[in-house]
Structures are given as C-alpha cells and as structure tokens.
C-alpha cells in the first residue's frame, strides 16, 4: 500500500486537511504501507514557503510523519520518486500532455474567455447543462495553423468519452457517474502550467500510489481522474472519500466563516494528542465505548472501510472535554513544561511548578492559564485595575460587609510571619476571623478572593494567598480597602 497527502501551500494547515492527513497516516501504518507527502505548489501567485512551513510543522506537531517527501519546508526531498513538489515536475507533465495530444485524447483550444462566456449564456438560456461545445475540436488544420500563426494562446482540453464510470469506493461502496455530462475540461493552461486534475493523476502514477484517500468534496472529480487514467494507460488506484466536516448546525465548515487553521488551535493550547484523538473520531469510531487512544493505538484499530458515510459534526465541547482529559492525565512536571510558553519568563520554573496543582483540574486549554492564575505574576496595580469596588461586595452583602471582612482579614494575615503563611494555617485563621466577625465563611472569603486575584472565580483561595506571599497579599488587600473608602466618601 502506498498512500499520499498532497496539500497546496496556498494557506495554513486547516482542520480538514489535518484529518485527511491523519486518515492517510493511520491507513498506511495499519497496513504496514508507505505514506507520501507531495507538495502541489504550481499556484505561484497564492503559494508560499511560509504556508508550506505551516503545513509541515503542524503535521509534525500532531505527530504525523511520512516516509517520503520534504521533511522541512523548502528542504530536500526524501524518497525514490523525487522530486515531490509539482513545480519541479513540469517536464513530465508536458510529455504526458503531448502523449494525449498525439493519441487524439486531448486537443488544443483557442477559445477566449468572452467566447466561452457567450456559449455558457446560450446554454443557460436553453436550459442545457453548461459544458464546452467542442468548437476547437472540429477546427480544420488550416484554422489551427492560422490561430497559431496569429500567436493566439491556447489551452489543452481533455476529450471526455461519453461513458459510465463505475468504481468501488473504499468508504462509500459502488459509485457510478455518467461522464457524458462532464464536457471536455482543460488540463493545461495557456502558460503551460498543468491544472489539478491532470497533475494529480500523473503524479499518482509516477509515485505508484495505490490508494487515494481524500475528502468527499473530491468525489465529483474522480470520474475525470479515472477517464484520464484510462486514456494514459495508467493503473487505477483505489479511491476512498471521507465525509465532510460540518458545523454544529450541520452546514459545511467554511475556511472563511469557521476557525479551521490548525495553528489557531495550537495557539489556544490544545494538546496535539487531544486533537489527534478528536480528529480521528470525526467520521470514524472503534465500535466500542472507548474514547481515549494514542496515535499508535489508533493506527492499530483504524480501518478506512469503517469510516462513516455521513458528515462529521465538529463538536467544540467534545474537543474541550478531550483536551481537559489529556491535561489531567499529565504529571505536574509534564504540565508545567507544556505551560512554559504561556508563562512569562520572569516566572521561575519552581514557581510555575507550584502553580500547576492550583489550576490543573480547571484547565481546559493551556492558554487559559493566564485567566486562571495570571494574578500571580501581574503587578499589584494591574490586578487592582481588573475590578471595581462593587465586585468586592459578597453575593448577598454590601460594600460595608466587604470592608469589614477585608479589615479583619488584613489584621489576621498581618499577624502571621512568612513561615506560617501556608494554605492550611491561612484557612484556619480566616475561618476563625469570620466567626468573630459574625459572617458566613463564603461572605468573608469572597472580598478577599477579589482583592488578591481580581476575579470572583479563582484557584483555591488560601493556596493563592500562599503563592502570592504575605507582603503581596497585604498590599492587594490595602488596594481593595482604598477602593472601598473612596466609594464610601
């Protein structure tokens, strides 16, 4: 088995391409086959090395590797069928196009865009399916010579035979198309560049691809490809078309309207292991209640024939759930390492390790760390700016209650030295202070939480106080009392 992924570097790696890459990878690994990465870079106007780098780097980040093709953006190709970039294979496309021309399976077309548009309008008015009317196929040799002598640019069109194309799709079973409805399509532009339908067929043959696994949106392209394959005398690969990814309302995910770039999920702090697990289930399931798999476990279980036919709904809540499960499965040291890029360099590794137990159970994405515990490294003045005096009031209390609680709390914390400023001691002393103040513990603790973290929801209060230390905790309570005095004035 030889499968391939052939992205075009005209944009960043998106969810759909990542899942198709994963399914190809799992299929190859399950069968002990070869996985090829081929870069379709003939669109020089929209393509770039930066997009190629984004695709390759994010596939590697997901843990998806390939046996042949470029391993780094702009780097050397690895494998016996190099080059693996279409821009370096132009001679092959030209020679294969000439073969089709010589065999009468393709012909040159000199029609202008205006002429083609006029034909399209006529067909539309007559309620006929839009397709090329073959006027250039029927030109005389004299007509062709005159057009060439005039320097008029021409494309190459493939002559589609009116036949029924049937194939056994690896996912969908038997599929049938009537190629009489297609019309003769362009395979080489007037500047000599091959178009997708032609180049992909030539490359798959040259690289001995046995199985073409791609998105369902390519299903309508397959009869064109099979017709080309037969005209060129190639061996037909097996085709498999995986379901589209849908939004929650079952509309097709749009690159423009949906967040699809893999880099965006990476920047939000989704773990690659969670994303791989999530992507694998977008159209496939193991047939059991199991939901957590490593990449190797997925490869052992995955079978392309068990991929679902219907569209796969992108459930963000499930992705968040999976990410949380993977985060909580990490050791505290492992999680600290993963969090490092989201934490300011000024926060030392030891301090970071102390923070991890406070947020591990609440963390959904790594990027959430700032919202959960950013108060630990932000300056006191910044934290004080996060809230107004009204937020200090207990849920069923007043600003006067908040002031009373904070004054008692400050006195209690000030009595402790640094050695006693631990979560256990702080909780005991503060509960005693709440009793003396005649306040419920929740009402007493609430203003303290807001004062030291700037939020009404935070990691455990007393562990947060211990993390901040005595002096910073007292300074933040002083800031809060200042706000309350100003509000009362």
CATH of the domain at 16: 3.40.50.620
Cα distances from 126 to residues 45, 121, 178, in angstroms, run 37, 9, 21
Name the residues annotated as catalytic.
255
Contacts of 486 (CB under 8 A, 6+ apart): 389
pLDDT value of residue 256: 56
pLDDT value of residue 487: 93
Residues 101 and 182 in one domain: yes
Residues 293 and 160 in one domain: no
Helix (H, G, I), strand (E, B) or coil at 211: strand
Greatest extent of the chain over all pairs of C-alpha atoms, in Å: 108
185-188 and 155-158: which strand pairing?
Answer: antiparallel
Residues 225 and 159 in one domain: yes
**CA 257 from chain center: how many Å?**
14
Q: Which of 367, 385, 383, 387 is nearest to 375 (CA)?
A: 383
The distance in angstroms from the start CA to the end CA of the chain is 79
Contacts of 423 (CB under 8 A, 6+ apart): 460, 462, 463, 465, 466
Of 376, 401, 431, which closes a domain?
A: 376
Backbone angles phi, psi at 4, to 5 degrees: -145, 155
Contacts of 233 (CB under 8 A, 6+ apart): none
CATH of the domain at 435: 1.10.10.350
pLDDT value of residue 250: 84
Which parts of the chain sit beneath pLDDT 70? 254-259
For residues 275, 280, 283 and 289, what is the CA-based torsion angle, rounded to 10 degrees?
-100
Mapping DSSP onto H, E and C, the string for 426-451 reads HHHHHHHHHHHHCCCHHHHHHHHHHH
Q: What proportions of the chain, in percent to the nearest 5, are helix, strand and coil?
A: 55, 10, 35
Q: Flag whether 320 is in a domain.
A: no
Q: How far apart are the C-alpha atoms of 189 and 185, rounded to whole Å?
A: 11
Tell me which residue has tokens 């998106």.
14
Residues 372 and 258 in one domain: no
pTM here is: 0.91
Q: Flag whether 323 is in a domain.
A: no
Residues 37 and 154 in one domain: no
The structural domain count of the chain equals: 4
Cα distances from 300 to residues 26, 28, 286, 295, 329, in angstroms, run 8, 11, 10, 9, 22
pLDDT value of residue 205: 98
Cα distances from 250 to residues 208, 243, 247, 397, in angstroms, run 37, 12, 5, 46
Q: Flag whether 463 is in a domain.
A: yes
Domain extent for 157: 89-242
Q: Flag whether 426 is in a domain.
A: yes
């Amino acid at each position: 088995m030889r499968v391939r992924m052939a992205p075009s570097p005209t944009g960043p790696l998106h969810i759909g391409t990542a899942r198709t890459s994963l399914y190809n990878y799992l299929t190859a690994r399950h069968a002990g086959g070869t996985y090829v990465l081929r870069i379709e870079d003939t669109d020089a106007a929209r393509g770039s090395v930066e997009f190629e780098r984004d695709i390759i780097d994010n596939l590697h980040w997901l843990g998806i590797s390939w046996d042949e093709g470029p391993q780094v953006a702009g780097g050397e190709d690895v494998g016996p069928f190099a080059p693996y970039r279409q821009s370096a294979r132009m001679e092959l496309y030209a020679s294969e196009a000439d073969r089709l021309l010589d065999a009468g399976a393709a012909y040159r077309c000199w029609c202008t865009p205006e002429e083609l548009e006029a034909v399209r309008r006529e067909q539309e008015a007559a309620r006929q399916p839009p397709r090329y009317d073959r006027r250039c196929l029927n030109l005389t040799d004299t007509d062709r010579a005159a057009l060439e002598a005039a320097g008029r640019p021409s494309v190459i069109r493939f002559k589609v035979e009116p036949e029924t194309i049937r194939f056994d799709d690896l996912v969908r079973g038997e599929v049938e198309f009537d190629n009489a409805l297609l019309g003769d399509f362009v395979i080489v532009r007037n500047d000599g560049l091959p178009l997708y339908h032609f180049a992909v067929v030539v490359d798959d043959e040259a690289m001995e691809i046995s199985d073409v696994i791609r998105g369902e949106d390519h299903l309508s392209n397959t009869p064109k490809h099979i017709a080309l394959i037969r005209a060129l005398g190639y061996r037909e690969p097996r085709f498999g078309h995986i379901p589209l990814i849908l939004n929650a309302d079952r509309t097709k995910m749009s690159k423009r309207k949906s967040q699809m770039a893999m880099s965006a999920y990476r920047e939000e702090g989704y773990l690659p292991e969670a994303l791989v697990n999530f992507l694998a289930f977008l159209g496939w399931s193991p047939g059991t209640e199991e939901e957590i798999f490593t990449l190797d476990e997925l490869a052992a279980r995955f079978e392309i024939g068990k991929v679902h036919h219907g569209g796969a709904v992108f459930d963000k809540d499930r992705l968040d759930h999976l990410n949380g499960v993977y985060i909580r499965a990490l050791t505290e040291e492992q999680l600290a390492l993963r969090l490092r890029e989201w934490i300011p360099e000024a926060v030392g590794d030891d301090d970071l390790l102390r923070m991890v137990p406070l947020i591990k159970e609440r963390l959904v994405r790594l990027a959430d760390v700032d919202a959960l515990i950013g108060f630990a490294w932000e300056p006191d003045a910044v934290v004080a700016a996060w809230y107004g005096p009204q937020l200090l009031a207990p849920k069923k209390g007043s600003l006067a209650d908040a002031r009373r609680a904070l004054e008692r709390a400050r006195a209690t914390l000030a009595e402790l030295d640094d050695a006693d400023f631990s979560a256990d001691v702080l909780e005991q002393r503060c509960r005693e202070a709440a009793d003396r103040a005649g306040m419920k513990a929740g009402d007493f603790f609430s203003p303290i939480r807001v004062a030291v973290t700037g939020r009404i929801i935070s990691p455990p209060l007393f562990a947060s106080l211990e993390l901040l230390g005595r002096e910073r905790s007292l300074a933040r309570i002083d800031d809060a009392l200042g706000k309350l005095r100003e509000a009362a004035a």
